[in-house]
Amino acid sequence: MKIREATQDDAAFLAWVKLIAARSHLTYGPWDHILDLPEPETLAFLEQLCLTDTVHWCHYSRFLVAEVGGEPAGALCAFDPQQHGGRALGVAMVGVLQQEETETDLREFALRAAAMSTCMPDYAEGAWVVENVATRPEFRGRGIVQDLLSAALDRGREQGFTRGQIAVLIGNETARRAYIRAGFEPDLEKRHPDYAAALGCPGIERLLRDL
């Protein structure tokens, strides 16, 4: 296995990673809810989101890709939330919607995004944040997530961050156990009825670890 930085050529694969990571243990996730589009159009949106001029935490430049036999097998993103956090992502998302002229109404989009934001974890002080963790089904069980997490956390440590942060949808025990094995500890939960009504999941748990 080889871990490398993502490139623009990975955009289609990273779109899938973002969709699957967000769905977590569910069949319908935050991107499905926010965009309210058929899956092919959702993937097209997420692919374009990788390539925006604005750099944000879903931009291709924030990702590491694990390859097996030269084939992308898994990926995650890691980022400085002060530079590439939610505000930058919001600007990029609206830009893609306007550029692509999708059927998504911006007012309805904003309402659906607001419901999802009710449970977004706050960024801990000094945290290097990991998100969008996913592995293709045929490559699961090979330790790819652990190796990606190790590489991502090393980068944060090298850049002077003192803590690592990751989040998991409440109820995804498989991911939660994997993150605890990587040294993360449960920190706090955010729950909200609007989030639960949209996804059938009560909210999101934040986990932290020292770097």
pLDDT one-digit tens code per residue, 52-102: 999 999 999 999 999 999 999 999 999 999 999 888 998 899 888 887 665
- Specify the amino acid at residue 66: A
Place of tokens 């977004």: 120
| pLDDT reported for residue 102 | 57
Residue-wise pLDDT tens digits, 173-184: 999 999 999 999
Instruction: Taking residues 107-122, report their average pLDDT.
Output: 91
Give me the sheet containing 163-169, strands edge to edge: 2-5, 63-68, 71-79, 127-135, 163-169, 203-210, 185-191
Residue ranges making up the domain that contains 83: 2-210
Radius of gyration of the chain (CA): 16
How many Cβ atoms sit within 10 Å of the Cβ of residue 17?
27
Hey, which residues does 76 pair with through a beta bridge?
Answer: 64
How far apart CA 88 and CA 95 sit, in angstroms, is 11
Helices (H), the chain: 11-23, 30-35, 39-49, 81-84, 86-100, 106-117, 144-158, 173-181, 193-199
Percent pLDDT > 70 in the chain is: 98
- State the pLDDT confidence band at 109, using cuts at 50, 70 and 90: confident
In the chain, how many domains are there?
A: 1
The CATH code of the domain that includes 145 is 3.40.630.30
Q: What are phi and psi of 205, to 5 degrees?
A: -110, 135
Two structure tokens written together for 208: 């932290």
Contacts of 38 (CB under 8 A, 6+ apart): none
Question: How many residues make up the chain in this entry?
Answer: 211
